[in-house]
Amino acid sequence: MAKLLYDYWFVQFDFPDANGKPYKSSGGKMVYNEVLKREIPEGWEVKSLANFILNDKSGDWGKEESEGNYVIKVECIRGADINGINGKGEVKAPTRFILEKNEHKILLEFDLVVEISGGSPTQSTGRLGFITKEVLERFDNPLICSNFCKAVSLKSENQFFFFVNSWNRAYDNGILFGFEGKTSGIKNLLFEMFVNNYIVAVPEENLLTKFQNITSLYEKKRQVNLKQNQKLAELRDWLLPMLMNGQVKVGEVEEGLNVAAEPEVGYGGDINKLIKN
């Protein structure tokens, strides 16, 4: 839904106008932009992704056990865990201990984790994991990212999901393959080059805020479901061996889980109507 809404509002430019109608389809004024080589809505700006970034913090690996000043217990997000954070697989982030002086590397709400090194011939570097309050609640310890990743903080929370979807659209279209270098046979994302050269059309702040508010609701629901799935998987892994060796029987289970399936909803060509409903 978030991806569909982003495409509808910021690629097709059919965000709701002052009358609640799709802007471009309803005759909203468009102006040609020399940088993007296409028309964009009047009043919109063009900016590189670098303009959204406040700062970044490098990854850490720490130690496997607590020793000396390595006393802060964390869970380390690797490139392999990014898909799991985004709901496309498992998260198996290892537990590590980092130095007290590196406490500033701990991930906070609205941070982004970018895979800097890795990838494959068919998968570029640059996978993006986004940290929300609900993501943090899926873990027992604070989070950091590994040395093969970079954490990024944005200037404004209202720009968070706009930035995420702008980045992911570039990734899905294979654009990040053009911003990779190689050292010792490992692909590395040319991060600074990419964020300074990838340009997007940026709307007024109120539309960014509206998109942020709508999209955050979808993401919150998804992360809550992922946390429930994680707990169910843990319950399964605990209960299944006992069922297999006869310690418990199905008939002895007194509590059940009710799973409600939501019906599919069509948007009839105008996603703004669906959002409104």
Where residue 66 sits, what CATH number does that domain have?
A: 3.90.220.20
Query: Which one is predicted more confidently, 2 or 161?
Result: 161
257 occurs within a structural domain: no
As a whole number, mean pLDDT of residues 136-142 equals: 92
Give dist(CA 154, CA 59) in Å, integer.
Answer: 17
- In degrees and rounded to multiples of 5, residue 17 shows phi and psi of -80, -170
264 occurs within a structural domain: no
Beta bridge pairs of residue 200? 47
On whether the CB atoms of residues 16 and 23 are closer than 8 A, the answer is yes
Q: What is the pLDDT of residue 248?
A: 75
As a whole number, mean pLDDT of residues 99-111 equals: 96
29 occurs within a structural domain: no
Q: What is the pLDDT of residue 274?
A: 57
61 occurs within a structural domain: yes
Give dist(CA 83, CA 127) in Å, integer.
Answer: 8
Nearest to 93 by CA among 221, 258, 230: 230
| Whole-prediction pTM | 0.82
17 occurs within a structural domain: no
Pairing relationship of beta strands 143-145 and 70-77 according to DSSP bridges: parallel
32 occurs within a structural domain: no
As a whole number, mean pLDDT of residues 124-151 equals: 94
Q: What is the pLDDT of residue 269?
A: 57
As a whole number, mean pLDDT of residues 73-89 equals: 89
Q: Which domain holds residue 95?
A: 51-202
- In degrees and rounded to multiples of 5, residue 163 shows phi and psi of -65, -45
269 occurs within a structural domain: no
Give the chain's domain count: 1
In the chain, count H helices and then E strands: 7, 14
41 occurs within a structural domain: no
As a whole number, mean pLDDT of residues 22-38 equals: 96
